Structure 1
């Protein structure tokens, strides 16, 4: 993963959620003028526009890491790889649909095993979702971990370890149980969403964060609640669930559907301490 990128401040790690939710998802991590992108459900034009707003140079991107093949994560991934002339990284054993098209490069990674690149390492981990070979990703840059944990209906000990040891955590809070139960979806779809192969509810996300808060003295510095359902959730519902739990003492931000946000931290700065 060696490409010429733009210069940034030494020891500064930058990240951006280009957007998340039911329609399109994409995340970017940057260090030392180089970047990687996780998923792309946007058109190439929209993805590049959002990268520009986030201050990320397309020339800095080394590769695209795909979590799974649902359209809100995959739809624009192949086209973006071709536009930027970058490889795609996927879970071992995953067969991409023909719609992805020809790629500049394709590499497979084994979940549960660290994969080292020149400026970061990547640990893919298995998620529980109703699609072939789904994974989340945990990236480590100079000893600092950042984890993308979405599109899973069940949480594992591995996920807990990675989330609790992350400086920055992107965690799914997909649906409010009451809104889903009383909403217009057919019963079969409601069962799918709330199943172990579906998505995390606000309550599951809150309980997960509360468990991290109660068991660890070092907290994630920033938690982003993302991938909110268009029809079955609202930011205020996520806020209610978090404030009613022991997760309220964590520094968190709830991302509305499609919201673009950016952040940064400096390697070597002290981490937040819990109670």
Structure 2
């Protein structure tokens, strides 16, 4: 049994999360209470997903469900292959399924936005977000008395989103781009408008603004995620959020593209 697997066992009964990797080349987040294991999105090839899961001490057959936020390739590349090879049940909205990008899914379950559902011991609230996909959602997941918010791929922080994710104990939050780096970067004008628009991705400053609306008192862990390879740097994301925490950086971390983020337990 590897070290990461030992970590899962040690935290049995406690909600915790990890990232297999986060960014434009692939996204996948693990959520577990030690008995129920969820994978949210899988933007990696089957082989790479197997490797990254093993790094976290899990085999694909241990997954109880695969939740899909939307149909963009950096979130679904490995969903179909993983589901077909290992029989993992997939939960997604009809709009995401209607994109036609996922292929056959042997065990398919519908998500209705704003309608809670459960996978074994974990309760999941799917929340509609503004993003340029057919029927995108993000997730608030409850295990016991603890709440984890997974909140990436949204163009702007709506009041609906702020209300839905208020009072979480941990948050995986999009910090996609620095506004200046995006403006001065290599993207063509049309792509810059898409990324920085109301249906694109959150800037570091927008993430900071949203955090103040969600409330910081209960937040034990804030994982900056979905950082752009060309339009952001980890230190800029952390700079934007650190002042909100009175300089206490112990609650802040970054989910990287290559290394992901190791298991984080919510006390």
- The TM-score normalised by the length of structure 2 is 0.89
Query: 1:99: how far off?
Result: 4.2
Contact map agreement 1:61 1:84 (CA 8 A) in 2: no
Name the CA distance, whole Å, in 2 between partners of 1:126 and 1:28: 20
Map 1:188-207 → 2, pairs under 5 A: 188-207=190-209
8 Å CA contact 1:24, 1:258 repeated in 2 = no
Deviates more, 1:41-50 or 1:113-122: 113-122
Alignment of structure 1 residues 173-188 onto 2, 5 Å: 173-188=175-190
Instruction: Give the deviation of 1:258 after TM superposition.
Output: 2.9
Identify which range, 257-266 or 106-115, moves more after superposition. Answer: 257-266
Distance 1:61 1:134 in 2: 22
- In structure 2, the partner of 1:240 is 239
Distance in structure 2 (CA, Å) of the matches to 1:59 and 1:75: 18
Give the match's secondary structure for 1:8: helix
Give the Cα separation in 2 of the matches to 1:247 and 1:138: 26
In 2, the alpha carbon distance for the partners of 1:226 and 1:169 equals: 10
Report how many aligned residue pairs link the two structures.
260
Is the contact made by 1:164 and 1:220 (CA closer than 8 Å) also made in structure 2? no
Is the 1:147–1:169 contact (alpha carbons within 8 Å) kept by the matching residues of 2? yes
The answer to whether the Cα contact below 8 Å between 1:25 and 1:40 also exists between their aligned partners in 2 is: yes
The 1:209/1:99 distance shift into structure 2, 3 A limit, reads closer
The within-5 A match list for 1:243-258 is 243-245=242-244, 248-249=247-248, 251-258=251-258
Q: Does residue 224 of structure 1 match 2:219?
A: no
Question: In 2, are the aligned partners of 1:12 and 1:264 still within 8 Å (CA)?
Answer: no
8 Å CA contact 1:92, 1:111 repeated in 2: no
C-alpha distance in 2 between matches for 1:245 and 1:17: 24
Q: Which runs of 5+ in 1 are unaligned?
A: 1-5, 270-275
1:36 match: secondary structure: strand
* Farther-moved stretch of structure 1 (189-198 vs 156-165): 156-165
Which position in structure 2 is the counterpart of 1:104? 106
Output the TM-score relative to the length of structure 1: 0.87
Residues 87, 220 of structure 1: CA spacing in aligned structure 2 closer, same or farther, 3 A cutoff?
A: same
2:124 partner SS: strand
- Report the equivalent of 1:8: 9
| C-alpha displacement of 1:64 | 0.7
